[in-house]
Amino acid sequence: MNINRLLDRLFGSGVHSISIEENFLHGSAVIDGREVAVIGTHEHAAIDSALALAVSASIIGVIRDDLSRGSSPRPIIFMVDTQGQTLSRHEELLCLNGYFAHTAKCVDLARRHGHQTIALIHGEAVSGGFLAFGLMADRICALPEAQVRVMDLKAMSRITKIPYDRLVDLSADSPVFAPGAENYWRMGGVHEIWSDDSDWLSCLSALLVVADVRDRRAILGVERGGRQNAAPIAELVANAL
Amino acid sequence: MEQFTLSYKTSPRLQEGHPPQLCGVVASGNLEVLVEPLDSADLCLIEVNTSAPGFRLIWEAVLSDFVERNRVAGVRISINDAGATPAVVGLRLDQALDAYRSAV
Amino acid sequence: MKNVKPASFFESSARVRVAKLVDAGSFKEFCPPQLRRTSPHLARLNAPVAFDDGVAVGSATLAGHKILIAAQEGKFNGGAVGEVHGAKLAGLLDRGVRELPRAVLLLIDSGGVRLHEANAGLIAISEVMRAVLRCQEAGVPVLALVGGACGAFGGMGIVTRLCNEIIMSEEGRLGLSGPEVIETVQGVEEFDSRDRPLVWRVTGGKVRRALGEATYLVDDDICSFRSVTAELLCRYQTKPLAPVDIDEISAEHARLTERTKRFATARDGREIFQASGFVDLDEVSLLPVAKFNQQLLESL
């Protein structure tokens, strides 16, 4: 879906002011009479240091604005569409991981300042680019066209030297390595998958009703049956005598 | 992967009370060996989990040699192997048992 | 006095690193190998498993300070993070929030997500990231020690940069995408992963220290890692960690923005070394760590 049509469908036509600068977007919208900040990327952005800084600057801006206005912290909606990090020697030399960590710290600062954080995957959500801010949000939702992955099975087969057909067979009943939002949902890594015929604005407003800053994704993974080990092992390590 | 368990009747029983010991790393051409106490006082139980199938006879030779050399009962030895040579296996087993014996 | 050969951090296994880093005999392991919490996903793919899934986690003392510590085993699947491995790290950090030790030490030696269980690994790393941030919010500093053959890459490179301190050896490497990945996708002209000096100048300990990414550069022996860590633990005892506030985040933002501008076209660590005041750029790789640190200090 074209980004303008998507934003109109999400936030209502003509009532949001979101500017799009190449593959970066930021602005605000109104949900149930409440202003929300919208920050993110589109066109399967490869995230480099400049883009990570743009996202970070917007988050810092939202926190500062609300502090100076003395208004209640606005929820922040992260629009996620990334093919992953930019692969370049220049970016590595600058320590791109440091920029991503900075973005993650910004999301965390927003959370600590009382901003609800929601990630909407509207395109791709891949590896490092997904870690920087999408996976840091309190709630992670996938729109119908979302593609979530680390690596496609062909590439995985080349690197692990496990035959492609075997990977396809095994992925039929295990969500742990094959691409797909549904797999992430089963493991608790995606909270909700929205269907094409649901009313997205009401989905959003339902999310804004209850704030929950706890990271319960490992427990969700057990409840949904896709990630049985993480929660009990983390619990064992956290509380072993 | 190929898995099998070998059980050797031997003596004497190693003094009890040693904490489990892990030696080595599961990396190509290497293995890890975990040594723990075993309730059966006259047994040395060895479990092998190897990425190189088809070498059971060689394993049996290396392991029975190890048991012959060391003569310890009341221990359970578990191996995760990623294609180590018999020499490396023998060395790692001795190392692990030494560490277990001296651990308090 | 007996002349003890220094133990190389680079050459040692994760368990030896822990044993020699902390006070002798003080390490107490959680979820130890005998519990056999191996990866069910590796087993399904018929790949070898390890009893600790490639990471040892526990408590210890270091120079008398109570700490929690995790050490990744780079030789097992490149230290990569799977479901169990990641949950052990996240659980340890959660324990940090509850027990409030002097610090949590992460001995990172990892290429990032384990492809055999990539989705579980990616989610786990994000859980580790959030757990690091929770620890810090609770006032517990998290320190990264990087000096193994796998360095700190992928999601673990991001985790490393969330830490309050990064102690690196010259042999340690820190980045996001490994040189091999960049070469495979973008071609050998972009990054020749077999050019070891170049790889070192782009991701190695010295260039990371010169950029200010690593907070300390130490010799490749476990003793050196220990003495800097002990010093830091004393410092945190005197001056406890304050949670990051918006001014600190803004200052970091300004630093990173400045770096992007200053090195807008840089592709080789020589440019970073030159900007850091080093004159003989061919000599930098040969400088002993103490001398490198001294020259860097003088140019600041």
Q: Residues B89-99: pLDDT tens digits?
A: 999 999 999 99
Letter string b/e over residues A89-107, b meaning 16 or more CB atoms within 10 A of that residue's CB: bbbbbbbbbbbbbbbbbbb
Q: Which residue(s) pair with A21 in the sheet? A: A24
**A22 occurs within a structural domain:** yes
Question: How many Å lie between the alpha carbon of A229 and the closest alpha carbon of chain C?
Answer: 6
Asked whether the predicted pLDDT for residue B43 surpasses 80, the reply is: yes
Are residues B81 and B34 in contact, defined by beta-carbon separation less than 8 angstroms?
no
E strand or H helix that includes residue C123: helix C118-137
Instruction: Give residue C101's identity as a one-letter amino acid code.
Output: P
The mean pLDDT value for A127-136 works out to 96
Specify the pLDDT at position C1: 46
Enumerate residues 6+ apart whose C-beta is below 8 A from A45. Answer: A23, A24, A51, A81, A82, A83, A129
Asked whether the predicted pLDDT for residue A162 surpasses 60, the reply is: yes
Question: How many Å lie between the alpha carbon of A30 and the closest alpha carbon of chain C?
Answer: 25
Distance CA A92, CA B94 (A): 44
**β-pairing verdict for C65-72 and C55-62:** antiparallel
Of C141, C134, C155, give the one whose Cα is nearest residue C72.
C155
Are residues C49 and B34 in contact, defined by beta-carbon separation less than 8 angstroms?
no
CATH number of the CATH domain containing A15: 3.90.226.10
DSSP string, A98-133: HHHHHHHHHHHHHHHTT--EEEEEEEEEEHHHHHHT
Q: Which residues of C touch B27 (CB under 8 A)?
A: 75-76
Distance CA C6, CA C17 (A): 12
CATH number of the B2-102 domain: 3.30.230
Cis ω for the linkage preceding B12 (within 30 of 0): yes
The mean pLDDT value for C86-113 works out to 98
Specify the pLDDT at position C48: 97
Distance CA C166, CA C164 (A): 7
Does the beta-carbon distance from C50 to B25 stay under 8 Å?
Answer: yes
Confidence of residue C3 (pLDDT cuts 50, 70, 90): low
Report the alpha-carbon angle C104-A97-A179, nearest 5: 100
Does the beta-carbon distance from B27 to C32 stay under 8 Å?
Answer: no
Enumerate residues 6+ apart whose C-beta is below 8 A from A29. Answer: A7, A10, A11, A12, A15, A16, A17, A18, A35, A36, A38, A77
> Dihedral of the CA atoms A232, A236, B1, B3 (nearest 10)?
-110
Are residues A63 and A115 in contact, defined by beta-carbon separation less than 8 angstroms?
yes
Distance CA A23, CA A51 (A): 9
Does the beta-carbon distance from A108 to C91 stay under 8 Å?
Answer: no
Contact of A102 with chain C, judged by CB distance below 8 Å, is answered with: yes
Interface residue of B31, B32, B34, B48 to substitute, partner C, most C CBs within 10 Å: B32
Q: Identify which of B22, B30, B81 has the shortest CB distance to residue C33.
A: B22
Confidence of residue B62 (pLDDT cuts 50, 70, 90): very high
Under DSSP, is residue C57 helix (H, G, I), strand (E, B) or coil? strand
Q: How many residues in chain B?
A: 104
Asked whether the predicted pLDDT for residue C101 surpasses 50, the reply is: yes
What is the count of residue pairs from A and C with beta carbons less than 8 Å apart? Answer: 250
Specify the pLDDT at position A222: 98
Interface residue of A177, A185, A239, A241 to substitute, partner C, most C CBs within 10 Å: A177
Chains that touch A (3 or more CB pairs under 8 A): C
Distance CA C101, CA A29 (A): 43
Enumerate residues 6+ apart whose C-beta is below 8 A from C269. Answer: A93, C200, C201, C202, C204, C206, C207, C210
Indicate the domain borders of chain B: 2-102
Confidence of residue C2 (pLDDT cuts 50, 70, 90): low
Q: Identify which of C32, C34, C50 has the shortest CB distance to residue B80.
A: C50
Question: How many Å lie between the alpha carbon of C13 and the closest alpha carbon of chain B?
Answer: 8
Q: Which domain range does residue A65 map to?
A: 3-144+194-210
CATH topology classification for C14-174+214-243: 2-enoyl-CoA Hydratase; Chain A, domain 1 (3.90.226)
DSSP string, A7-21: HHHHH-TTS-EEEEE
pLDDT digits (tens, 9 = 90+) for A167-203: 999 999 899 999 999 999 999 999 999 999 999 999 9
Q: Which residues of C touch B33 (CB under 8 A)?
A: none
Does the beta-carbon distance from C48 to B34 stay under 8 Å?
Answer: no
For residue C192, the chain A residue with the least C-alpha distance is A89
Contact of A117 with chain C, judged by CB distance below 8 Å, is answered with: no
**β-pairing verdict for C216-218 and C165-169:** parallel
The mean pLDDT value for C53-68 works out to 98
Q: Which of A 125-154 lie inside 8 A of C, CB atoms?
A: 127-128, 130-132, 135-136, 148-151
Give me the phi and psi of B9, to 5 degrees please.
Answer: -85, 120
Asked whether the predicted pLDDT for residue C208 surpasses 90, the reply is: yes
Percent of chain A clearing pLDDT 90 (strictly above):
93
pLDDT digits (tens, 9 = 90+) for C210-241: 999 999 999 999 999 999 999 999 999 999 99
Q: Identify which of C95, C118, C203 has the shortest CB distance to residue A92.
A: C203
The mean pLDDT value for C101-112 works out to 98
Domain tally for chain A?
1
Kindly indicate whether the ipTM for this predicted assembly is greater than 0.95, answering yes or no.
yes
Distance CA A187, CA B55 (A): 38
Q: Identify which of B27, B78, B81 has the shortest CB distance to residue C76.
A: B27
Specify the pLDDT at position A120: 98
Under DSSP, is residue B17 helix (H, G, I), strand (E, B) or coil? coil
Question: How many Å lie between the alpha carbon of C205 and the closest alpha carbon of chain A?
Answer: 12
Distance CA C76, CA C33 (A): 14
Asked whether the predicted pLDDT for residue A126 surpasses 80, the reply is: yes
